[in-house]
Chain A
Amino acid sequence: MSDYILEMNGITKEFTGVKALTDVSFKVEKGEIHCLIGENGAGKSTLMKVLSGVYPHGTYLGDILFEGAVQSFSAIGDSVRAGIAIIYQELALFPDLTVYENIFAGNEVQRGGIVDWNRTIAEAKKMLGKVGLDVNPELRVRDLGVGKQQLVEIAKALSKNVKLLILDEPTAALNENDSENLLRLLRELKAQGITCIMISHKLKEVIAIADKATVLRDGRTICTLDAAKGEIQESIIIKNMVGREIDDIYPKRANRTFGDKILEVVDWSAYDPQLGRSVARNVNLHVRKGEIVGIAGLMGSGRTELAQSIFGNPKGYRLEGELWVDGSPAAFKHTSDAIKAGIAYVTEDRKGDGLFLIQDIKSNITAANLSGISSKGVINDNEEIKVAGRYKESMSIKAPSVEQIVGKLSGGNQQKVSLGKWLFVGPKLLILDEPTRGIDVGAKFEIYTIMNKLISEGMSIIMISSELGEVLGMSDRVYVMAEGRIKGELPIEEADQEKIMQFATQ
């Protein structure tokens, strides 16, 4: 009998047509801190969702053994009862409830449906003591900082007698001080016998805290490194994280000559009043005519926020700095101004804020340029069908007709509709935010080919991507972002995966 608290064997999880996990095995010993690492999209979160029952038993292949017994969780509640707690990057707290209400939310101290608030508060104080958080439990969670909120989450997990604590990028939103506190707490919990799985992108933390580290890549387990054997080192981790060879799914582009600067931002900062912090800080970057500029970085590094702050600032950030378009200063009050200036932005979240899912292909393609198919405000329906048909043809969007509802298309075809919508605007600069997320290799290749064609027609592209292969395969120049700042700028000749990862995990 081994003393594994958790064994996941041969886990395979498939989403319609896309394999997110292939035969993954993941073993965690009792009482250790085990880090799970990998690029965005490597399958870490999917694996944790399988474990916690978000994807119920039966929707994946393989076995989960927890404390030696085979488990078949069919909902999150089941895994919680077994003693597994997950703390996600986006905290799942109720901001307007008090600390003690949050700690016992869903697990109320009660008798016959009547809550015993006095005992709740007393218990909450005990839990807060365990995580070393010295706050009044009657404060509203909204009034605590992010670091303290995280501790409240952990206290909540402890109140449920957690045996295995899973933290998904716990320090992503924390400053250095709070991060250190958190790591110290994890060590203390380990001393109390609580096993911990931590998903992290910050390699320094991993090196500081991990007993073991398992690396996932492209939905497969690559290796498990052991600190006791001295295997947890930055170079070894990075090599295993990115190890994939860049194959030739990136079509070649013959002509790489660039014209004048088409866009430039100088000392650009964006403050998000809702989050209460800056999402972009002192950014300097430029794009030349005929150039593909890659912006690499991990999720949450501020790339999308930067792009949107340039593209008419739909989220209403407070902006500082200068924006130059075609050599003259520009200020966009609304996205429509940015579009008029020749900028297009293809969002990373095509279902959330990209497409009109309940509308058909033609309405989506013409949505940003209705004046192109209308005169005096009256739409020419036939012209619209013709235009949409043209894009359907040229981008080989697979659908029976342009009257097909977009929500029913596959991810790749949806992305092409998204792209078609912006090409119909006829932009000078196309900002692509994660252009190939969640689409299969064939469709990726098609999107890359379209990008190259656009460049040859004189367009410029900013490509935001978490996929290093894509960044290296397609860009002419690469910026790396982390924590809202540009941490490095690399001409493509000097860029490689290790260098980018180093900047991104700083």
Chain B
Amino acid sequence: MNLYKEAKSLLKINIREYGMYIALFVIMLVFTILTDGLFMSSRNISNLLDQTGYIAVLAVGMTLVIVIRHIDLSVGFAAGFMGAIAAILMSQAGVPVYLTIPIILVLGIVIGMFNGVFVASVGIPSFVASLAGMLIFRGALLRVTEKSGTVIVEQDSFNALGNGFIPSLAEAGGLHVLSLLLGVAVIFLYVISELSARRNKLKYGFEVVSKGIFALKVVFVSFIVAYITYIIAGYNGFSWTVIIMLGVTAIYHFLTTKTVLGRHIYAVGSNPEAAHLSGINVKKITYIVFGSMGLLSALSGILYTARLNSATTTAGTLFELDAIAAAYVGGVSAAGGVGKVTGSIIGAIVMTSLSSGMNLLGVGISYQYMIRGGVLAAAVIFDVMTRKKRG
């Protein structure tokens, strides 16, 4: 029974962190019951994750922007604009796909850096600077798509990023083999890293959780990964969008939790003056965070254009607010200094799950907006309450 007690106290301490996962679980469970299992079907989950992709990568970048106490409203139309440029480069200028993608990503960094300069060096509030950016990119998007209207992309390799799947290699009982292998590899790496982290802690003589809890946690997480893999392998396997989304998450998670740069970002967010006095270059950190935001906007634009096989005149509309909502649902604090990349990804999945589930149930769009708004408010209220409790 000690195991139960330990688990309970761990849950209590980390309720803020786990709250998001619990919420997602509850939402999925409710929709699964209401739709007689249709929600958790391979096809629906696969679609749901693909829909999340272009918002999720924005939410990752937005997390860092909000952590350093800024905001970036320009990312939606910036993504739309860069997606259009990509489409034009490929279909009108004949630039090959393998050149187009790096060009667009670099363009994204440059655009982000511009925002960074306006905010950090000129001292314009980020809300205003990025609002201006939003209008500019909206105009720019219209300008480049004005003549032809929608720009069709015919390069299959590019479009695969938005709606293609990784190759299967072989077929086994209707399951996607490479996806299964990937899932197994992820579980394997996860178990290895957990074990080595535990061994390292013991080597330093630090306290670790009991063996029972440790085993429970490893088995539980492995099971979740295995289950999701199984579901996805039942349809077409992992899509390129999901692979990219996972890759971005993994890189940013590592960056924010394990590196000096990540520490500096959170230091700037929790107290910029103290960060400056600690020898941290606050301006440089601001450039980097906005630069990364620009990079991820470009990626988002690429994913969206690929998903539609074309660039449209309204691409990117309201992406920025979806990304901001995902970040807040994911536990990012508006006061700065607090927020996890993984949380924002979960936040993005929560928001798409709501739309997807309600679509399956045939809930009207008017109610959908209200319910999503309610969930956003509830998430922030939960965040404020748990923080108050902790002092």
- A residues touching B (Cβ–Cβ < 8 Å)? 311-312, 314, 334-336, 338-339, 345, 347, 352-359, 363, 366-368, 370-371, 374, 377-379, 381-382, 385-386, 405, 407-408, 421
Flag if A378 contacts B267 (CB, 8 Å).
Answer: no
Q: Which of A336, A377, A381, A385 contacts B260 (CB 8 A)?
A: A377
Contact with A along B187-220 (1 / 0, CB 8 A): 0000000000000110110100000000000000
Chain B residues within 8 Å of A371, by CB: 260
For chain B, what secondary structure do more than half of its interface residues adopt (helix, strand, loop), or is it mixed?
helix
Contacting B337 at CB < 8 Å: which of A354, A356, A366? A356
Q: Which residues of B contact A374 (CB under 8 A)?
A: 259-260
In whole angstroms, what is the CA distance A207 to B261 when docked? Answer: 57
Instruction: Tell me the residues in window 235-273 of chain B with beta carbons closer than 8 Å to chain A beta carbons.
Output: 258-261, 263-264, 266-267, 270-271, 273
A-B contact pairs, 8 of them (CB 8 A): A314-B277, A336-B279, A336-B280, A356-B274, A367-B267, A379-B260, A382-B204, A382-B206
Using CB atoms, name the residue of chain B closest to A384: B263
| Distance (whole angstroms) from the CB of A236 to the closest CB of chain B | 42
B387: nearest chain-A partner, CB-CB: A358
Contact A408 B391 (CB under 8 A): yes
* Chain B residues near A334 (CB-CB < 8 A): 279, 281
Q: What total of chain B residues lie within 8 Å of the partner, measured CB to CB?
A: 28
Contact A335 B271 (CB under 8 A): no
Indicate if B278 sits at the interface (CB-CB under 8 A): yes
Q: B258 is contacted by which of A363, A367, A378, A405 (Cβ under 8 Å)?
A: A378
Find out whether the CB atom of B259 lies under 8 angstroms from the CB atom of A367. no
B258 touches A358 (CB 8 A): no
Q: Which residues of B, 139-194, contact A by the 8 Å Cβ criterion?
A: none
Given A368-B278, A382-B204, A382-B206: A358 and B260 interface contact (C-beta under 8 Å): no
* A336: B residues at CB distance < 8 A: 279-281
Contact across chains for A358 and B337 when beta carbons are under 8 A apart:
yes
**CB pair B274 A353 closer than 8 Å:** yes
Q: Which residues of A contact B279 (CB under 8 A)?
A: 312, 334-336, 338-339, 368
Contacts of B204 in A (CB 8 A): 382, 385-386
Quick check: A379 and B274 within 8 Å, CB to CB?
no
- Interface status of B276 (Cβ within 8 A of chain A): yes
A356 touching B271 by the CB < 8 A rule? yes
**Which residue of A370, A379, A385 has the most chain B CB atoms within 10 A of its CB atom?**
A370
| Min CB gap B288→A, angstroms | 13
Alpha-carbon distance A314/B270, docked complex (angstroms):
17
Asked if B338 is at the interface (CB within 8 A of a chain A CB), the reply is yes
A407–B259 Cα gap in the complex (Å)?
24
Find out whether the CB atom of B201 lies under 8 angstroms from the CB atom of A382.
Answer: yes
Determine which of A339, A355, A366, A407 lies in contact with B274 in the assembled complex, contact meaning CB atoms within 8 Å.
Answer: A355
Q: Is B263 touching A354 in the complex (CB atoms < 8 A)?
A: no
**Which A residues are CB-close (under 8 A) to B276?**
314, 335, 353
Asked if A377 and B278 make an inter-chain contact with CB atoms under 8 angstroms apart, the answer reads no
> Known contacts being A370-B263, A377-B259, is A353 close to B281, with CB within 8 Å?
no
Of residues 258 through 308 on chain B, the ones whose CB sits less than 8 Å from some CB of chain A are 258-261, 263-264, 266-267, 270-271, 273-281
